[in-house]
Amino acid sequence: MLIAITRQVSSAINQCELTHFERTPIDLVRARSQHHAYEQALRDLGVMVISMPEEPNLPDSVFVEDAAVVLDECAVVTRPGANSRQPEVESIARVLAPHRQLFTIQAPGTLDGGDVLTVGRTIFIGLSGRSNQAAIDQMDSFLRPFGYIIQSVPVTGCLHLKSAVTQVKIDTLLINPAWVEKDNFRNVKFIDVDPSEHYAANAVLVSESVLYQPVYPRTLERLEALGIHPILVDQSELGKAEGALTCCSLIFKA
């Protein structure tokens, strides 16, 4: 069984952190409706969803992926790169504690889970505005004993590594090559996003199913042409907060 930890959209979402986007109003009712549909899509795939209540004083807290990295053997509680987001991790750690041995990133390390892409036994970590080398070194010390290989990946032009690349099949990555170089990834196939859809590289792989957003139709055509037929989930309102599909859940084996 798979478990997904989610959290309801904060009533303060319009005070979210923004790095690459201009601030535009977020419709809270619509954002919550879209998030509920996302949770239901996970349930429809047989995932047990643990939905945490909103944090009204933590605007970005719906983006639970940034607070932890969950593997089969353990979990790493992060130290987000935006100071306003660091209080999010305590409640996530409490929910994870019954399921995994926990490690915790310490200062001066900063790490957002959105910068962490696990492909087999290799963990790629984006060197971004939110995640630094000190945190990557700590991840290596935590996870190398479990047989993981840690590889840093420079990211440019976007917030997180998983804004630029995600996994859509066991051997296939969906990638925006303008933001991350393919040479960082070995022994995999690539599907390039359509050049007109810069943010189209974010998808959620759940077993053999893929969740994807309908707002990227040209890239969707590329996926379908290669036999990948995603389940469409609109998360466009949270996209105004620089959020994406992977951001909104922590999915792991029970």
Give pLDDT tens digits for 138-159. Answer: 999 999 999 999 999 999 999 9
pLDDT of residue 181: 98
The single residue of 16, 74, 158, 247 carrying the catalytic annotation is: 247
**Is 99 among the residues known to form the active site?**
no
The single residue of 16, 74, 160, 248 carrying the catalytic annotation is: 160
Give tens-digit pLDDT for 181-204: 999 999 999 999 999 999 999 999
Which residues, 6+ apart, have CB-to-CB distance to 56 below 8 Å? 10, 11, 12
Give tens-digit pLDDT for 28-61: 999 999 999 999 999 999 999 999 999 999 999 9
Continuous segment of H or E residues that includes residue 163: helix 161-164
pLDDT of residue 166: 98
CATH number for region 2-253: 3.75.10.10
Specify whether the CB–CB gap between 153 and 145 falls below 8 A.
no
**Is 160 among the residues known to form the active site?**
yes
pLDDT of residue 73: 98
Continuous segment of H or E residues that includes residue 117: strand 116-119
* Percent over 90 (pLDDT), the chain: 100
Query: Residues 95-122: what's their mean pLDDT?
Result: 98
Domain ranges of the chain: 2-253
Give tens-digit pLDDT for 122-137: 999 999 999 999 999 9
